[in-house]
Chains A and B, each alone.
Chain A
Amino acid sequence: MTMAAPPVDDRPDGPRGSGGDERLLRVSPLRTLLGRPELGAVVGAIAVFLFFSVFADSFLRASSLGTVLYAASTIGIMAVPVALLMIGGEFDLSAGVMVTGSALVSSMFSYQTTANVWVGVGVSLLVTLAFGAFNGVMLTRTWLPSFIITLGTFLMLTGLNLGLTKLISGTVSTKTIADMEGFPSARKLFASQLTLGDVELKVTILWWAALVALATWILLRTRFGNWIFAVGGNAEAARAVGVPVARTRIGLYMGVAFCAWVSGQHLLFSFDVVQSGEGVGNELIYIIAAVIGGCLITGGYGSAIGSAVGAFIFGMTSKGIVYAEWNPDWFKFFLGAMLLLATLLNAWVRRRAEATR
């Protein structure tokens, strides 16, 4: 397959063939840093950290770190696949209610069949992945914008969550499954906590870290990752050189579904009962974390680590306001201001980075 190209100008690899080139000015480490998508978010995170260190007394305590990280992880677990999807050029507005739906399926299936909760957890995985696949297949078949398609599935899932729960349980929340077989082990996997010194760390933080690492590996070092950037950057070109565009998109939506399942199981096993109306609005917070983290809303650019920094900013802000003993009503204002500032900073950094190449 790798045929040698016919030599036209077969210059031997001279001394400058081995990497040096007089036209290439030495790239300073600072410049390399400026080229990273997550730089804006890191600067923002430092600013938020300093801000609350000054204004919230208990913010710097070790125990607060665990709380902030936990808040960040619950958003971060979903921000990772949403960032990948955004790099691939699409949105998923159904992500928030899909988390709730996934938890509801586990809980109600286990309760109704009175089987081991692990059966419910497994069924929930299949059902949630099917929702993701549905989003992806609809998108690739109909060519409608993902905004419309996932807005549709968002509304449908919201209705299904409420309607089916009422129909099956008779109320808006599920019945307790804490006394069922398999609950303790499932709780260990999805909702346990470990203590390091005087810091309490929830297991979601581990899930989050693992997902960020996995997504970074996929993005930068696998063929699928290459295709994600290509599909988001120029889908026509990607198709022309043989990238399976449809499969890539469906894969991305199933990635969102998988993480929604992880999130949903955490929800279920940490609270035991699930409110069927939860999750509405969270989809925007995932998108905000990804955008703050440097993902280009038009696709083709961004990183998983950036989404993690975005989620961390979210965690610091939501808990920092509590520690500062301010009215939590201010949270949304802060989040909005952060979004604007971070995107402006990202745009500015990217322009600088590209202009100086």
Chain B
Amino acid sequence: MTARSTTAAVDGAAAGGPLVELDNVSKYYGNIRALEGVSLEVHAGGISCVLGDNGAGKSTLIKIVAGLHRHDAGDLLIDGVRTVLASPRDALDRGIATVYQDLAVVPLMPVWRNFFLGSEPTRGSGPFRRLDVALMRETTRAALLRMGIDLRDVDQPIGTLSGGERQCVAIARAVHFGAKVLVLDEPTAALGVKQSGVVLKYVAAARDAGLGVVLITHNPHHAFLVGDRFTLLKRGIMSGSHTKDSITLDELTREMAGGSELAELSHELERAMGDTS
């Protein structure tokens, strides 16, 4: 890893505790209970995975960490300090960068404008302060190339990229600006096998660089490949919390699907297979 990218992590680790911690957090949308009593720790150089079915509350969880929603009960601690995030900008300023499931990009804008949106570098001063377009273009290209995405043209509207390419642009952007914590909401959901591998490799590299990562996924295989801690959500409630050495992939998969339900499912599937052959 480059010396530059590890300095941020050393700062975070110096404090010792988790970079971000959720303690008994709850969130209600009107009368809908989206989350209830969920706890989570994110450590520097660690990947905390959040697993759960559709509607389990995974996206809600990270929207709290990202400053998009405020939690209704419990505590959010950043570097050990109780915090209520005022806005996504606030979270960004504290070093929490998020890649959203419904990718936060503006389809009609060129890739390079999207890459720097909200954090545009400028040159000159006073009335002559202007975007540093050359730097923006070049940085975008270089950052994407480092991720293995060799873009044809950073001037094309981001809406014309493939889903995987768009995901990688969003991750590359988050890593480029994210000082300490990277939050990813189902980064591999829409991707092919190879692209998923690239994204996971990139996530692991971010961890090795000392970032704390929150990885949200449906896929226990992906989670087990890279994760250190696993938090399982079921209908808004935390149904399990494990570290890597206390659980195997099989156990994780079974617990996610709900043990007996899975046994039943495999039984049914076996029978179906038997019928067709």
Contacts and interface: CB of A to CB of B under 8 A. Distances in A.
Interface string B104-120: 11111100010011111
Interface string B129-161: 111010000010111011110101100110010
B108 A301 contact: yes
Interface string A341-354: 00000000000001
Contact of A8 (B107, B141, B201): B201
A61 interface: no
Nearest to A240: B104
Interface in A216-261: 217, 221-223, 225-227, 229-230, 233-234, 236-244
A223 B201 contact: no
Interface in B145-204: 145-148, 150, 152-153, 156-157, 160, 172-173, 175-179, 198, 201-202
Interface string A7-27: 111110100010001011000
Contacts of B178: 3
B2 interface: yes
Contact of A240 (B66, B130, B141, B176): B66
B106 A229 contact: yes
Interface residues of B, number: 59
Interface of B: 1-2, 4-5, 8, 66, 68, 87-89, 92, 98, 100, 103-109, 113, 116-120, 122, 129-131, 133, 139, 141-143, 145-148, 150, 152-153, 156-157, 160, 172-173, 175-179, 198, 201-202, 205-206, 208-209
A2 interface: yes
Nearest to B5: A4
Contacts of B145: 9, 11, 13, 17
Contacts, number: 143
Interface of A: 1-11, 13, 17, 21, 23-24, 217, 221-223, 225-227, 229-230, 233-234, 236-244, 296, 300-301, 354, 357
A10 B172 CA distance: 14
Contacts of A357: 156-157, 160
29 contacts: A2-B176, A4-B5, A6-B175, A6-B202, A6-B206, A7-B205, A9-B146, A9-B148, A11-B145, A13-B142, A17-B145, A24-B152, A222-B130, A223-B122, A225-B131, A230-B106, A234-B104, A237-B105, A238-B117, A238-B118, A239-B87, A240-B68, A241-B117, A241-B119, A242-B88, A242-B119, A243-B118, A354-B157, A357-B156
A104 B87 CA distance: 42
Interface centre among B66, B105, B179 (most CB of A within 10 A): B105
A226 B120 contact: yes
